[in-house]
Amino acid sequence: MAAKIEESRQHHAAMLTCTHLSQAKKWSYVKIMHCSKLSMTHVHARKDHNDPEKCILPLPADEPLTVTMLNDVMIDICSDHSNSLVIALVEADSTIVYYNIYPGIHPPDLPSRECRHDHT
């Protein structure tokens, strides 16, 4: 992997992410995992038992991301669970922003009919 993340900072981000998912969002399954190959902590979680398991990579928000790093995580951590990765960027004030990352290029979701405006 091109960039090394300080393990204690990444573990702290993982703990905050797990707490947010299990306590604030009430997800039923949240588990912290460690990938020794990448020396990274990640989270496997699902909202309830019927939902597919998500692979979540918690990171401090000021940590630089590279395409190589994301590709390594997708291959080594998420390949068995999902075709996508959720990045949880954790700010110093414990604010967490989640981003869905997919391999390749995907078109954005179209806005709902109520959001479209007719300018005629």
For 8, list phi and psi in degrees, rounded to 5.
Answer: -65, -35
CA–CA dist 72, 15 (Å, integer): 22
Reported as a pLDDT band with limits 50, 70 and 90, residue 104 is confident
Is residue 120's pLDDT more than 80?
no
Is residue 1's pLDDT more than 90?
no
Model's pTM, two decimal places? 0.78
For residues 7-24, give the mean pLDDT. Answer: 91
- Judge contact between 28 and 8, C-beta under 8 A: no
Find the range with the poorest average confidence among 14-18, 54-58, 99-103.
99-103
Q: What is the pLDDT of residue 116?
A: 54
Q: What is the pLDDT of residue 71?
A: 85
